[in-house]
Amino acid sequence: MLAELRQRDRAKGDAETRLQHQALIDELTGLPNRRLLSDRLGQSLAVARRENTKVALLYIDLDGFKLVNDSFGHAAGDILLTEVSRRFKAKIRESDTLARLGEDEFTVILNHVHSKEGAEKAARACSILSPSHS
């Protein structure tokens, strides 16, 4: 009976962990979702106030994404979103946060930014901001 209770407790804990993960992480990309982004942004702002630095928030919308879904199907769109998120993630610092807000919307929190120029430089370095927008 004791073993059964332990197994039930373990199963309950595993289920709670899965639910927590689903509530905070985008299922397709594995990135933080809007809810976790909000929490991380609050933490980033608190650290920036304490360390007298700035935080930059980049919003990324994939132009023409609806056309991909309409022309090639949602499976192709999912592959594209997964690859785009992987590439964005590879370009940002470990201390920054990349999150998926919606179908084709992403946000990056750039931490430890000292100036507007620093944020623009970081955005260009990770190929998020094209030179034509600077």
Catalytic positions: 104
Whose structure tokens read 């630095």? 53
Q: Do 54 and 114 form a contact (C-beta atoms < 8 A)?
A: yes
Output the CA–CA distances (angstroms, integers) from residue 94 to 8, 90, 103, 109, 132, in the order listed: 37, 9, 24, 11, 26
State the amino acid at position 91 in one-letter form: K
DSSP class of residue 102 equals E
Give first-to-last CA distance, the chain, whole Å.
67
